Amino acid sequence: MYSAKVMEHFLHPRNVGVIEDADGVGEVGNPACGDVMTFYVKVKEDRIAEVKFQTFGCAAAIAVASMVSEMAKGKHISEALKITNRDVAEALEGLPKQKLHCSNLGADALHKAIEDYLARKKEKEAGDDGNQSSCAR
């Protein structure tokens, strides 16, 4: 039913855990199947320096989260945002038809974590600009 690559990432998932001081956090869930994924990213010079995940779900969901984390590590954020569900399924050498939705969760959770990072960065930059201008007055 599952490819050897899916089983490898399910039995030995990479990058499991939490980044306490994450630069971005993204969580998605699928109410139909109950799967929930949370991704945490640390970004240095616009590259994913560290990525971790937590997932509550089936073997495919765990394998997908593990693979997405490996695919994103070291990538520029613009490249990581281009990771698609199809890319993930192909990297895992296929997923059963009824489990393809899991690949959406992984890519979506990663994208949300990066979007959270970008929003925090923008907010911080706006705050820094505001502090500088008020001091200069």
Residue 58 among the catalytic residues:
no
Catalytic residue among 22, 51, 95, 102: 102
What CA dihedral angle connects 70, 73, 79 and 85, to 10 degrees? 20
| CA–CA distance, 100 with 103 (Å, rounded to integer) | 6
Backbone dihedral angles phi then psi of residue 19, each to the nearest 5 degrees: -105, 110
What percent of the chain is helix, strand and coil (3-state, nearest 5)?
55, 20, 25
| Contact yes or no for 58/87 (Cβ under 8 A) | no
Token pair 């010079």 is found at 45
Residue 102 among the catalytic residues:
yes
Catalytic residue among 16, 25, 33, 81: 33
The H or E element containing residue 53 is strand 47-56
User: What order of strands is seen across the sheet that includes strand 36-44?
Assistant: 24-29, 36-44, 47-56
Q: Report the catalytic residues.
A: 33, 102
